A = this chain, B = another copy of it.
C-alpha cells in the first residue's frame, strides 16, 4: 500500500466524527429506551422484529437472521425475554422446522408504549438537526455503502437492513 492510499485530512476528520456520531446515537437512543421503558436496545430490536411479523411471530432461525445475531446470543436473549413474559416459545404441530417465537400481549403492549418515546429520542438526537436534503443524502449514501459491503461480502445478510426500529 502506498502513502497515497491513506485517508486525507478531511477524510480522517470525517471518519472520526462519523464514528463518534454513531456511538453517541447508539448510547443516547439506548439510554432513552432504558429510562422510558426499561428496555435494552436488544430487547427493543426483538420486540420490533416480532411486532412487524405476520401473527407477531417468527421462527427463531429467521429472527436470528433478521437481527444478524448468532445462535448463542439469540437464545440467551430469548430466554431472558421469555422469563419477563415478553414472548413465548412454541413449536408448530404442522411444521418441524424449529421453534417459533411469538410476542405476548404484554410484549405487544410494551413495544407500543415504548415506541413513541423511542421515536422522540431519535428525533431529538438526530432528525431535529437534519434538513430534508440531509435526509435524502444520508439515505442515498447508506444505500450505496450497504450495496458496496454486500457486494464485497457474498455472505452478507440483507435482512439486517430492516430489523431495528419503527
Contact = CB atoms under 8 A, between A and B. Distances in A.
A18, A123, A124, A144 pick with most chain B CB within 10 angstroms: A18
Interface string A5-28: 111001111111111111111011
> Chain A: interface residue count, which band?
35 or more
A125 B139 contact: no
A14 B165 CA distance: 11
B142 A23 contact: no
A122 interface: yes
A141 to B, nearest CB: 6
A96 B164 CA distance: 46
A164 B129 contact: no
Q: Tell me if A's interface is mostly helix, strand, loop or mixed.
A: helix
Given A24-B149, A24-B156, A16 B144 contact: no
A166 interface: yes
A11 B119 CA distance: 11
Interface of A: 1, 5-7, 10-25, 27-28, 68, 116, 119-120, 122-130, 134-139, 141-150, 152-153, 156, 160-162, 164-166
16 contacts: A6-B119, A7-B119, A15-B122, A15-B165, A16-B164, A17-B143, A20-B164, A23-B68, A24-B146, A24-B150, A28-B149, A28-B153, A125-B145, A130-B141, A134-B141, A137-B137
The list of the 5 closest CB pairs from A to B, nearest first, reads A20-B161, A14-B139, A17-B142, A21-B142, A1-B116
